Amino acid sequence: MTVQQQCQSSRCFQQDHSHVENVVSLLLGGCMTGYCMHRHRGNPYTGTCKASFPDEDKLHHFQLAVSPDEGYYQSGRFQFEIDVPEAYNMVPPKVRCLTRIWHPNITENGEICLSLLREHSIDGTGWAPTRTLKDVVWGLNSLFTDLLNFDDPLNIDAAEHHLRDKEDFRNKVQDYIKHYAR
C-alpha cells in the first residue's frame, strides 16, 4: 500500500489543512502536530524532531528537522529530506541531509551513512519490510547521539579530525552550526 493509500484509508484527507498533522502521525508512528515523541509520553525522542511537508500534495516527500538536545551537535537544527518511494516498505526511503554539517557519518554534500537506510547490509541491520519511517526518524535522531560513529565513517576527514583533536573538532562543529544550522 502506498503512503497516499495509507493516508486515504486513515481519513487523513480533510477539507482543512489538519490532514497534514494526521499524515505526520501516520508516517512517524504517533507524532502530534509534527513534533516527534514528546518526553511526557515516555518516548526517547524528547521533542527533538519536527516533520514538515513542503508541498501538501506530495505526502511521500517531506522534511525532518532534528535539533539535538545533547552532545556535539546541541543547539543546531539539521534538515533532512525524505522521499518515500512507491515500493516502500520493500525498499527504504531516500534520505539526504540538507544542512551543511561536519559529521563523521554525513558528508558535506548530504550523503548519510546509516545502516538501516541500506537496502543490502552486510551486518544484517539494513532495511527490511518490517522497518518503518519511525525507525528512520529514530536513526537520524540517533546519528547525533548514540549512533555517532567515528570508527566506520563516511566523512573520513571529520573522523580523523576527531581522533587527532577532539576540542578542535568540537569547535569546527560549533562553527558549522553557527553558519549553517540555525
User: Which pLDDT does position 56 carry in this prediction?
Assistant: 87
Output the pTM of the full model.
Answer: 0.79
User: Which pLDDT does position 13 carry in this prediction?
Assistant: 36
Alpha helices for 11-145 (secondary structure H)? 19-28, 133-142
User: Which pLDDT does position 38 carry in this prediction?
Assistant: 38
Long-range contacts, 94-98 (Cβ 8 Å, 24+): 95/136, 95/140, 98/63
User: Which pLDDT does position 29 carry in this prediction?
Assistant: 56
User: Which pLDDT does position 20 carry in this prediction?
Assistant: 53
How does pLDDT run along the chain (182 residues), one tens digit per residue?
554 444 444 333 333 445 555 555 555 554 433 444 333 344 454 478 999 999 988 989 999 999 999 999 999 999 999 999 999 989 999 999 999 999 999 999 999 999 899 987 767 778 999 999 999 999 999 999 989 999 999 999 999 999 999 999 999 999 999 999 99
User: Which pLDDT does position 119 carry in this prediction?
Assistant: 85
User: If DSSP states are collapsed to H, E and C, what string results for 115-177?
Assistant: HHHCCCCCCCCCCCCCCCHHHHHHHHHHCCCCCCCCCCCCCHHHHHHHHHCHHHHHHHHHHHH
Q: Which CATH number fits domain 3-180: 1.10.940.10, 3.90.220.20, 3.10.110.10, 3.40.1410.10?
A: 3.10.110.10
Active site residue 12: no
Question: One of 7, 31, 36, 113 is an active-site residue; which one?
Answer: 113
